[in-house]
């Protein structure tokens, strides 16, 4: 489990300060208010990954963060599927029911790739997720999850990001193509045997944000 300082260091190593148009010190200062929240979660949670630090598109564009994704032991960079036309990612927005924090960075609590929902059409899986008191991940959150825990994206164990939608039946998803992570999309009514529905228990922003 990467702790909060380790997750911040990883973002710095990947070049997030430059992408966010900030110095390293400025980015660290921006994220610092989340440290005590992360410490509390780490103390209360015994899961393999109590939280993931999410940097939203308000700071870093997904078209810039996806190419930074790598699979364990593999060099090819992450890609945005060619079926996403230029600018398409900006047309996806979090579902209102998620109450995603307005903060440019927050903690995603107890993320899970939802592999038990493989083969279940997204439109049927969503009520199952919400009935458990959980909510589906957004594009920003999926990128954050694979950034900090790339081992969770495995062949035949990839996942949909049903928390981000646009005005059609497309559902974004992260899977593997050419030994690299790929951000693509699937259809709401179709089953996909290799795609679960990633979800989280909560989202926590810095105090006062």
Domain ranges of the chain: 4-204
Q: What residues are paired with 176 via a beta bridge?
A: 181
Residue 167 exposed, middle or buried by CB count within 10 Å (0-12, 13-18, 19+): exposed
**What is the pLDDT tens value at each position of the chain, 209 positions in all?**
789 999 999 999 999 999 999 999 999 999 999 999 999 998 886 667 899 999 999 999 999 999 999 999 999 999 999 988 888 999 999 999 999 999 999 999 999 999 999 999 999 999 999 999 999 999 999 999 999 999 999 999 999 999 999 999 999 999 999 999 999 999 999 999 999 999 999 999 987 66
CA dist., res. 150 & res. 12, Å (int): 17
Q: Residues 66, 150: contact at Cβ < 8 Å?
A: no
Q: What is the pLDDT of residue 171?
A: 97
Q: Quote the Cα angle for 104-108-113, to 5°.
A: 130
For position 184, what pLDDT does the model report?
A: 96
- Of the candidates 200, 3, 32, the residue with the CA atom closest to the CA atom of residue 109: 200
Residue identified by tokens 């380790």 is 6
Position 183 scores a pLDDT of 98
H-helix or E-strand spanning residue 174: strand 170-177
pTM of the model: 0.96
Quote the pLDDT of residue 1.
Answer: 74
- pLDDT attached to residue 86: 83
Digit-coded pLDDT (tens) for 12-66:
999 999 999 999 999 999 999 999 999 999 888 666 789 999 999 999 999 999 9
Per-residue model confidence (pLDDT) at position 47: 66
Predicted local confidence at residue 176, as pLDDT: 97
């Amino acid at each position: 489990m990467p702790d909060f300082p380790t997750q911040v260091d990883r973002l710095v190593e990947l070049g997030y300060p430059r992408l966010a148009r900030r110095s390293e010190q400025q980015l660290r200062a921006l994220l610092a208010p989340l440290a005590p929240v992360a410490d509390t979660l780490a103390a209360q949670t015994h899961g393999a990954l109590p939280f993931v630090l999410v940097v939203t598109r308000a700071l870093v564009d997904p078209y810039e963060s996806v190419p930074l994704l790598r699979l364990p032991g593999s060099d090819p960079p992450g890609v945005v599927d060619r079926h996403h036309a230029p600018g398409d990612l900006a047309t996806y927005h979090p579902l209102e029911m998620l109450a995603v924090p307005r903060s440019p960075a927050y903690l995603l609590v107890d993320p899970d790739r939802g592999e038990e929902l493989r083969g279940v059409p997204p439109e049927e899986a969503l009520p199952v997720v919400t009935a458990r008191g959980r909510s589906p991940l957004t594009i920003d959150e999926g990128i954050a999850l694979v950034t900090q825990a790339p081992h969770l994206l495995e062949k035949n164990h990839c996942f949909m990001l049903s928390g981000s939608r646009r005005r059609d039946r497309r559902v974004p998803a992260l899977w593997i193509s050419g030994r690299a992570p790929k951000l693509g999309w699937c259809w709401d009514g179709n089953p996909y045997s290799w795609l679960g529905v990633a979800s989280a228990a909560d989202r926590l922003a810095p105090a006062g944000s």
